[in-house]
């Protein structure tokens, strides 16, 4: 089991103050990593850090709005300096703006792409440049989506951004393999979080999710912990360019 240990490692999890991001951050902390999280809500950051520090002391939080892509390099540099560099990067922060494709505005499209695709790309570049300079490998994990493979009505911008993530994972995995930097993704299914509460509390929709999912339930943030640890650790040393769907079998059936 030593290969799964993250003792002595540092990790940055964007959007790590709640939901799926916090679930993955918990998993890394339980495996021994010291975790830094980013989030726009300072109060949520503090609550998440109180929990993470009970698991693994030394975890830190950084207030950051990654949609402001011109500030990404400075935000990463500040966090990395404070933490002494990162061994693991989880690009989890994201957003969605729903509406019919024919009504989608340029601002809605640009906002979605900035946070879901542009920010993860250039955070990954910051991470990779640092690891290359240090002559050390590392692990980058992207939060993909069922929408990386399929789509639902009113999600054109989000679906496009997550389809882009699928291909970006492959491209970066190929470019950075020679440096020992592995790049993979986790594709959550329908996970019960604060953001999905309205859907979960909608009896008709919730029933559809359970019927559509072979394992017959909504996922929980804790369901992401094991996959995050696997992909961040040496247990997946020969794995790169892949997306692993934690979806209860949703994509396996129709």
CB 215 within 8 A of CB 244: no
Catalytic choice (158, 179, 190, 245): 158
| One pLDDT digit (tens) per residue for the chain, 254 residues | 899 999 999 999 999 999 999 999 999 999 999 999 999 999 999 999 999 999 999 999 999 999 999 999 999 999 999 999 999 999 999 999 999 999 999 999 999 999 999 999 999 999 999 999 999 999 999 999 999 999 999 999 999 999 999 999 999 999 999 999 999 999 999 999 988 999 999 999 999 999 999 999 999 999 999 999 999 999 999 999 999 999 999 999 98
Domain limits, the chain: 2-192+223-245
Whether the predicted model's global pTM rises above the 0.95 cut: yes
SS3 173: helix
* Architecture of domain 2-192+223-245 in this structure: 3-Layer(aba) Sandwich (3.40)
Question: Does residue 245 carry a catalytic annotation?
Answer: no
CB 199 within 8 A of CB 213: no
Give the separation between CA 11 and CA 199, rounded to whole angstroms.
31
């Amino acid at each position: 089991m030593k290969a799964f240990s993250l003792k002595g490692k540092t990790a940055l999890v964007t959007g790590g103050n709640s939901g799926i991001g916090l679930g993955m951050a918990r998993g890394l902390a339980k495996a021994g990593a010291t975790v830094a999280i980013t989030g726009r809500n300072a109060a949520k950051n503090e609550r998440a850090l109180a929990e993470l520090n009970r698991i693994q002391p030394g975890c830190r939080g950084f207030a950051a709005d990654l949609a402001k892509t011109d500030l990404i390099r400075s935000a990463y540099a500040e966090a990395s300096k404070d933490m002494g560099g990162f061994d693991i990067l989880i690009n989890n922060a994201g957003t969605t703006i729903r509406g019919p494709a024919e009504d989608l505005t340029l601002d809605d499209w640009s906002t979605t792409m900035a946070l879901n695709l542009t920010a993860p790309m250039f955070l990954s570049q910051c991470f990779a440049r640092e690891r290359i300079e240090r002559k050390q490998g590392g692990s980058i994990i992207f939060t993909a989506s069922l929408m990386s493979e399929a789509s639902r009505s009113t999600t054109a911008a989000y679906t496009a951004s997550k389809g882009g993530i699928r291909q970006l994972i492959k491209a970066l995995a190929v470019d950075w393999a020679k440096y020992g930097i592995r790049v993979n993704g986790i594709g959550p299914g329908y996970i019960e979080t604060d953001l999905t509460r309205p859907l979960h509390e909608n009896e008709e929709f919730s029933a559809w999710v359970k019927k559509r999912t072979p394992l017959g339930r909504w996922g929980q943030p804790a369901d992401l912990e094991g996959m995050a640890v696997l992909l961040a650790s040496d247990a997946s040393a020969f794995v790169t360019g892949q997306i692993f769907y934690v979806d209860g079998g949703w994509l396996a059936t129709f």
